[in-house]
Chain A
Amino acid sequence: MGGWTRIASVWVPESDTEGGAATALAVALLAASPRVSRVGNGLCRLDAGGWARRGGEEAFVRRVRMVAAEAGFPAARVGLADTGIVADAASRLAAAEPRIVPPGHGRAFLASLPLTLLPISDELRATLHALGLRRIGEVAARGRNELETRFGPEGTRAHRWSCGQDEDGVFRPITSEELPEASFELEGPHTSLEPLLFVLRHLLARVCGDLVGEGRCAARLVLELELGDRSRRPTTITPARPTAQEALLFDLCRAALEREFEVDCLAAPVTTLTLRVRERASAEARQGDLFVREPRDPLKASAALVRLHARLGDEAVVRPAPCPDHRPEARNEWTPVEARRASGGAGSSRATSGTMATADGGTASDDGGAKGDTDGDVIPAVLRLLPRPLPVCVRSVEGRPAEVWDERGHHEVTAAEGPERLSGEWWKAPYRREYFRVCTSEGELLWLFREGTATRSTSTGGSLEGERLSRERCAESAESAESVESAESDWRLHGWWD
């Protein structure tokens, strides 16, 4: 009996099962069965397969009634049969006691029942009545072709139902591995995220409950959306470490759903939500400490990372990975953090290469500052590099900057070091720069460079128009426009030390 498909129907006769109440009942039923489908008209179908090996179907039905009563539906009626259509009829017949139709007896069970229990249109029901067909068995006794010829597809459907057969398989058979899974078929297609999150929480409660019961954790899950156009959108969710924590997995699944909705733009509304465990792992026990609070959980870091990725893109969370290049902007390389590695450990191999872990200007290159701590030594300065060098006006004396005008105003240079010439990449994007480290009278440490005229418009994206605008801005901030006019405008501010 356990190998047969068994379906339970729960019917609430009151009319208050529409809308939110019906949804509340359906999600509550997830506590009794991993797969729930809403049929409408107060009916929900549950996968009841395999209960013959787990205490019997009577126990299952008792559990369903108990769950429904706890959800506020004590009058819920339960029927159980091989197919959904027979279970639906059984549930509507069941009064105080649930009705369980034995396997293989669905057609015989329906034969004596009135046509009102078939979900056919009133018009067809009236026509069948007029033809003298009052019982379901009488419709089943007619030939299928006869009904199809007379009533078209509706007649075929009515004949199939009267024989106790469903249109499609309501629930797919569970795989032999029996990995925990839960699915929920929504009553209507949904285009918004909130109802899915509501259902997702209950699906996770079910799956995590199963995992905890087995003493296992989920190493990989698949969240699958079935859309209105029958297409499926599976998303694999891999926590940084196997876990059965419901809240954590909810964060990961929610991030995946948000990404589906906001980034990937679903082609059709969602009709079914399924959560499957694809890979399990043994639960790891961590040695706690009686006197120490809960340590920082790397899984929570992973969940935060997934949400950041979902909203801001994969490039938003990075680790430093400087690139061996002469140009500072090319060396300022950041590598995205992968979700799987978010829980700790070293970053990219490039980032950890010893000689690369240095700062421009030699402040943290091969001295003690490279360790990042002070160790009693002087703290190295840190460079702030502008994403794009800013055009500035500079008055130079003997080729060395003496005054600087930028958007913040006029700065007098009290000390300058340089030039340090940098050139190269003549084969693709040639550049030729002279860098100066200057200190202004306000104590600012700026990093300026003067660009060679041959490469000015290519390597830094500058242009004559940009220089004109820069000169105008500098003039606005300066007290004397004449002094700005005499300044050179082929200078750029590349950053400052802070």
Chain B
Amino acid sequence: MRSAVLRELERRVEALEVQPSAQPSQQAVAATGIPPLDALLPEGGLPRGQAIEWAGPRSCGKTALLRAALARLHGMGEPVVMVDASRTLYAPDWTPLMGGEPFWVVRPPRENEALWCADLLLRSGAFGVVALETDAGLARSPVVRLQRLAEKTGAVFVVLGSLPLAALRLRFRPGRLEPVAGVFGPALPAVRPVWVDVGKGGSDEIPILCPSPAGRGVQPLLRDRKGPR
């Protein structure tokens, strides 16, 4: 009887050892949920405990892709925090991340405090994902310190901007946008391409929705008082 119980326990332990953990925080990488991007990333996701560069010029789609990745990780139960040093995030775009696990945005009054915020948040070990967005160029030593903290806590640490050193560099650039014929001249297409380059992983094109599909106004939330009834 006793040996049977032991055998059964051994079998269960072996099953648990080979089975990948259901907990997202246990995995070495965090999948972004964006298939073309995950296909480019080593091991199919963002590495935990590493500094990740997430860079590109204005309008290259990097924030849209980051938001999609954060929303996916947040939905998987990861507490997410974002340091918005430039204070340009637009609240209605980020409400989908509300609910469930904590989602905070830290908006330091002075941009030079962004690094301190990231240090504190990573050090706390309470967050699975820490995203730092700052226009200020980062020096090497604070990035090394932040990377060590991320490594210690197993957090995904993404910097929206250029890094002097990074375990993974994702570079985004806008693809060619083909205008469509509109009533008053060339108009925006429904979808635009964004190129992502992951170093040795290669590069690929990811489609992103253009703002304002036809027929939708500036204020989709509020009824247009002057419009047709």
Chain A positions within 8 Å of B, measured between CB atoms, are 291-293, 295-301, 303-305, 307-308, 311-313, 315-322, 324, 326, 328, 331-334, 337, 342-344, 346-347, 351-352, 355-367, 369-374, 378-387, 398, 400, 408, 414-417, 420, 422, 435, 437, 439, 442-447, 495-498
Contact = CB atoms under 8 A, between A and B. Distances in A.
Interface string B172-185: 01111101101011
B22 to A, nearest CB: 9
A285 B95 CA distance: 33
Nearest to A384: B88
A398 B184 CA distance: 10
9 contacts: A322-B91, A364-B93, A379-B34, A381-B209, A387-B87, A415-B186, A417-B187, A498-B63, A498-B64
B211 A324 contact: no
Contacts of B213: 362
A439 B208 contact: no
B88 A374 contact: no
Given A379-B64, A383-B211, A497 B59 contact: yes
A362 B92 CA distance: 11
A372 B34 CA distance: 12
A400 B179 CA distance: 15
A439 B186 CA distance: 10
Contact of A320 (B91, B113, B126): B91
B33 A373 contact: yes
Contact of A379 (B68, B86, B120, B222): B68
Contacts of A343: 102
A346 B103 CA distance: 9
Contact of A308 (B120, B127, B207): B120
A415 B211 CA distance: 13
A495 B126 contact: no
Contacts of A422: 218-219
B179 A415 contact: yes
Contacts of B208: 378-381
B201 interface: no
B91 A443 contact: no
Given A316-B107, A498-B64, A443 B177 contact: yes
Interface residues of B, number: 90
A101 B148 CA distance: 58
Contact of A382 (B67, B75, B103): B67
B106 interface: yes
A255 to B, nearest CB: 10
Query: Most chain-A Cβ atoms within 10 A of its Cβ — which of B179, B185, B211?
Result: B211
A370 B94 CA distance: 9
Nearest to A370: B96
A369 B67 CA distance: 11
Given A332-B90, A415-B177, 17 more contacts: A293-B154, A296-B128, A320-B89, A322-B95, A355-B221, A357-B95, A362-B213, A382-B63, A384-B86, A385-B88, A387-B88, A443-B174, A443-B175, A445-B192, A446-B59, A495-B88, A498-B61
A371 B139 CA distance: 36
A297 B68 contact: no
A400 B88 contact: no
Nearest to B63: A498
A364 B113 CA distance: 31
A136 B175 CA distance: 96
Contacts of B212: 361-363, 417, 437
A319 B125 contact: no
B127 A296 contact: yes
Contacts of A382: 63-64, 67, 90, 93
Contacts of A372: 67-68, 71-72, 74-75, 96-97
B126 A296 contact: yes
Interface in B119-145: 120-121, 123-128
A443 B57 CA distance: 10
A245 B206 CA distance: 47
B136 to A, nearest CB: 16
Contacts of A387: 87-88
Contact of A357 (B25, B92, B219): B92
Contact of A414 (B87, B173, B179): B179
Contacts of B218: 328, 360-361, 420, 422, 435
A304 B121 contact: yes
B109 interface: yes
Interface in B53-79: 57-65, 67-68, 71-72, 74-75, 78-79
Contact of A358 (B72, B92, B182): B92
A316 B98 contact: no
A356 B92 contact: yes
Interface string B151-191: 00010000000000000000001111101101011111001
Contact of A317 (B106, B186, B191): B106
Contact of B90 (A317, A359, A379): A359
Contacts of B113: 311-312
Contact of A498 (B59, B87, B186): B59
Nearest to A397: B185
A495 B125 CA distance: 34
B10 interface: no
Contacts of B191: 378
Nearest to B94: A320
Nearest to A337: B104
B221 to A, nearest CB: 6
B220 interface: yes
B211 A498 contact: no
A265 to B, nearest CB: 18
A439 B179 contact: yes
Contacts of B93: 320, 359-360, 363-364, 382-383
